[in-house]
Amino acid sequence: MCSCHGPRHRNCHHQPGNKPERFIQPSLLLCLAEKSSYGYELIEQLGSFRLHSGNPDPGAVYRHLRRLEMEGYVESHWETGEAGPAKRMYTITADGISLLKAWAAELEERKAALEEYLHKYQKLTNK
């Protein structure tokens, strides 16, 4: 939740907004709630949410991850393997789980509003 403005503040940088790009944040949180992951893998997973055609912009994803980490919703650490370069692994925090729940509630409200809109539209066009 937004500690600076309260849970329903619309213009806060970590609350749901109207831009499709803002859907990157709840998608990242959902992916990380499923399992810890690294940036490239998260970018591939975000492609399944159909935010854009294909995978989202890596720069935007990393900006969101940095912001989420700065605000305490995500933690990261460098992981080195036997082969290949080190990878920054991201993990969701307890505050991140709370923010994910807030996103889910907001998306449920939006879903209901969209369903009502589509129902009215269908009634209008099926006369």
pLDDT one-digit tens code per residue, 24-57: 999 999 999 999 999 999 999 998 887 656 678 8
CATH class of 20-125: mainly alpha
CB within 8 Å of 42: residues ≥ 6 apart: 28, 31, 32, 61, 65, 90
Query: Which tens digits make up the pLDDT trace of 69-91?
Result: 999 999 999 998 888 889 999 99
Length of the chain: 127
Residue 11 sits at φ, ψ, to 5 deg, of -100, 5
The pTM score is 0.76
pLDDT of the residue at 13: 55
The fraction of the chain above a pLDDT of 90, given in percent, is: 64
Domain chopping of the chain, boundaries: 20-125
